[in-house]
Amino acid sequence: MNDMKGALEQARRDAQALHKKAQDATAKKHADIRANVEKLADEALKLQAALKVLKLSQHADAQQHLNNAVNALDDAAKNAKAIKTANERDLGILRAALRLRTAIALKQLSRALAAKRTSVKGRAPQFV
């Protein structure tokens, strides 16, 4: 049980780091943004794959939050890839969307962790 909680907490920390990188990467000039977004897309997809495995061991409420996080990370990866070829007109929208999607993933992971903590606290003690 603690290993699953630890994995969920690590995923949340990874999402926090990804969101920070998205904020930092999208605050730069267009040329700098293009250089950094491919790595962000790869990181989002890597975290998304880890969450797909992690959700299999969670209760229904935590699974739903993890599904939401997986979907947000998929969208974040698509936004990051679109930024690479975006024109100046679309760049601002895509940058905002990338930041929003990583923030949603982070929020959903926080909710999954809270659901996990609640489910652990709500159970009767198990004696060995």
Q: Has residue 27 got a pLDDT over 90?
A: no
| pLDDT given at position 124 | 39
Model-wide pTM > 0.95: no
Tokens of 84: 């690479």
Residue 79 resides in a domain: yes
How many CA atoms are closer than 13 Å to the CA of 36, on its beta-carbon side? 17
Residue 127 resides in a domain: no
Distance CA 36, CA 44 (A): 13
> What's the average model confidence in pLDDT over 18-43?
76
Distance CA 92, CA 41 (A): 17
CATH number of the domain bearing residue 107: 1.20.120.230
Domain ranges, residue 80: 2-120
How many CA atoms are closer than 13 Å to the CA of 63, on its beta-carbon side? 7
Residue 45 resides in a domain: yes
| pLDDT given at position 122 | 55
Residue 128 resides in a domain: no
| pLDDT given at position 101 | 95
- Number of other CB atoms surrounding residue 112 within 10 Å: 27
Confidence of residue 2 (pLDDT cuts 50, 70, 90): low
| pLDDT given at position 30 | 65
Confidence of residue 106 (pLDDT cuts 50, 70, 90): very high
